[in-house]
């Protein structure tokens, strides 16, 4: 499926990206945000971004999003098992 979005010319120049590069970055940024919010899994986010999981994890580093998403309760449970 293809979605069309209208953006001002300045959007591309602000990030110094071509329209194609901007679209790729926008897909990655959206997928990362949804992953960070716990709305989707890492593999689903990579798929939505149109990249491999490795590329997704590299993107997470670039956007300063932790690759490990766990709630405080999940972390406490994990630590209690050790």
Q: Is residue 10 in a domain?
A: no
Q: Is residue 69 in a domain?
A: yes
- For residue 82, what pLDDT is reported? 66
45 is in which domain, residue-wise? 15-80
- Could you give the angle at the alpha carbon of 28 between the alpha carbons of 27 and 31, nearest 5°? 85
* Number of domains comprising the chain: 1
Break the chain down into helix, strand, coil percent, rounded to 5: 65, 0, 35
- For residue 53, what pLDDT is reported? 92
Give tens-digit pLDDT for 24-77: 999 999 999 999 998 999 999 999 999 999 999 999 999 999 887 777 777 778
Handedness of CA 20, 11, 47, 58 (dihedral sign): positive
Q: Is residue 61 in a domain?
A: yes
CA-to-CA distance for 68 and 4, rounded, in angstroms? 32
């Amino acid at each position: 499926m293809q979605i069309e979005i209208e953006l001002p010319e300045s959007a591309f120049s602000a990030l110094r990206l071509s329209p194609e590069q901007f679209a790729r970055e926008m897909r990655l940024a959206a997928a990362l945000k949804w992953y960070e919010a716990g709305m989707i899994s890492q593999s689903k986010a990579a798929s939505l971004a149109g990249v491999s999981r490795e590329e997704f994890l590299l993107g997470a580093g670039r956007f300063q999003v932790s690759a490990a998403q766990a709630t405080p309760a999940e972390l406490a449970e994990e630590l209690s098992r050790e």
